[in-house]
Structure 1
Amino acid sequence: MTTAAGPTRVPQEERTRVMRARLLEATVDCLVERGFAGTSTTLVSERAGVSRGAQLHHFPTKNALVVAAVEHLTEKRGAELAAAAASLPEGPRHTRAVMQMLGDHFASPVFIAALELWVAARTDAHLLAAVGPLEQRVGRETHRLTVELLGADESVPGVRELVQATLDLVRGLGLANTISDDTRRRVRILDTWADTLDTVLKGPA
């Protein structure tokens, strides 16, 4: 960046933040495209357009890089859900829109990246220590958001379990979608479940 007085120096702190963000975004992209086993620090640095030396300075090992990416991915998933929730329509199709939002989220690239980390963490204690607490945080926030969007009263017996079943359903549909495109079946299932939620939560029309 230049001004009339000459080039403007970008503060070191800002350059570091931008470089780290590029590396973490590249890590998520690699997890989606190549899986955990196929993700390497070399591939990440190439994709991020960052020198190998600079990458090693910030993240000296793959585990250090992936652990940092876990938190980055947690923030990204939360931001995407919040943005989608803010644009939901009101009216008679609201519950269906909530289900579509959740279904889309659990079929999105950020969910696929998270899924790769879950599988890897099952046999990696160090990674599990990072993934476990953050995944619990995502779960709590997603549950809270779903309760709010559905207007669910969890003081009513069975309603909390219904919300949990809803999230288990969309998570399972997202998992099925990683094997093959499951869009048409997912739409039918989510439509049916939206009707079920409206019947239980709102009562007969």
Structure 2
Amino acid sequence: MPQEERTRLMRARLLEATVECLVERGFSGTSTTLVSERAGVSRGAQLHHFPTKNDLVVAAVEHLTHVRGAELAAAAQRLPRGDRRTRAVLEMLGDHFTSPVFTAALELWVAARTDETLMSAVAPLEQRVGREVHRLTVDLLGADEAKPGVRELVQATLDLVRGLGLANTITDDARRRARILDQWALTLDTALKDDK
């Protein structure tokens, strides 16, 4: 195997291990030693690629950005057409914001709040992800943001599912989340239909 491919695979293992550690142990419980062990990579190799925890976590933020985008794009391809589409879009978003990838991202947001270096890496990526998810949601719902109130309705939708994802980090909230999303789908269908 060429050296370049071995390097790419090693980095991928380290980044995946970092995400797993963030989900299971949080930011404060994630260490470069633990990540190295989980990835099956020597400490020296890990230090060669990522000399500090922040270097590792910043790379993980970028990795998470790509993973989150790919997961959403794949899920969007599987959405049905017709009457239940709005509810399916909400379920897709709800699944995304309750996934381990979101939990890892949440750990980074909280840590970045008080760490300037981490914030400088996290903030621009999260802004980009936010714009991409917003644009995707507009497209999937067939919403026309040129009409008054529609942009705010889409943003409220994203704030809702993000908040439900946050609530899910403390306790399994699936049953309540389903009822809320059912009702919000009706609200969106009515508002967007009136809008068209």
TM-score, normalisation: structure 1: 0.94
How many residues are treated as equivalent by the alignment? 195
Query: Match of 1:200, as an amino acid?
Result: A
Q: Structure 1 residue 91: deviation in Å?
A: 1.2
Per the alignment, residue 147 of structure 2 pairs with 156
> What secondary structure, in the 3-state scheme, does the structure 2 residue paired with 1:191 have?
helix
Correspondences of 1:111-126 after superposition (within 5 Å) = 111-126=102-117
Displacement over 2 Å in runs of 4+: none
Normalised TM-score (structure 2): 0.98
Structure 1 residues not aligned, in runs of 5+: 1-9
The match for 2:184 is: 193
Specify the code of the residue in structure 1 equivalent to 2:104.
A
Tell me how far apart the structure 1 counterparts of residues 141 and 171 of structure 2 sit (CA, whole Å): 29
For 1:184, which of 166, 171, 175 is the aligned residue? Answer: 175
Aligned to 2:84: 93
Aligned-residue identity in percent: 83
**Deviation (angstroms), 1:203:** 2.9
Find the partner of 2:57 among 46, 51, 66. 66
Distance 2:18 2:43 in 1: 14
Give the match for residue 132 of structure 1: 123
- Give, in whole Å, the separation in 2 of the partners of 1:181 and 1:145: 27
The one-letter code sitting in structure 2 at the alignment partner of 1:51 is S
CA distance in 2, matches of 1:124, 1:54: 26
SS in 2 for 1:38: coil
Which residue in 1 is equivalent to 2:135? 144
**Residue in 2 aligned with 1:168?**
159
CA distance in 2, matches of 1:64, 1:153: 41
**What does residue 75 of structure 1 align with?**
66
Cα shift readout 1:71-128 (whole Å, capped 9, x = no counterpart) = 0000000000000001001110000000000001000000000000000000000000
Letter in 2 for 1:80: E
Q: Which amino acid aligns with 2:142?
A: G
Out of 4, 22, 25, the position equivalent to 1:31 is 22
Gaps of 5+ in 2: none
The code of the aligned residue for 2:40 comes to G
Deviation of 1:202 (Å) = 1.1
Q: CA RMSD in A?
A: 0.8
Aligned residue identity for 1:75: H
Which residue type is aligned with residue 175 of structure 1? L
Distance 1:59 1:154 in 2: 42
Determine the C-alpha separation between the residues in 2 that align with 1:156 and 1:203.
11
Residue matched to 2:34: 43
Q: Distance in 2 between matches of 1:63 and 1:74?
A: 16
Q: Which is greater in Rg?
A: 1
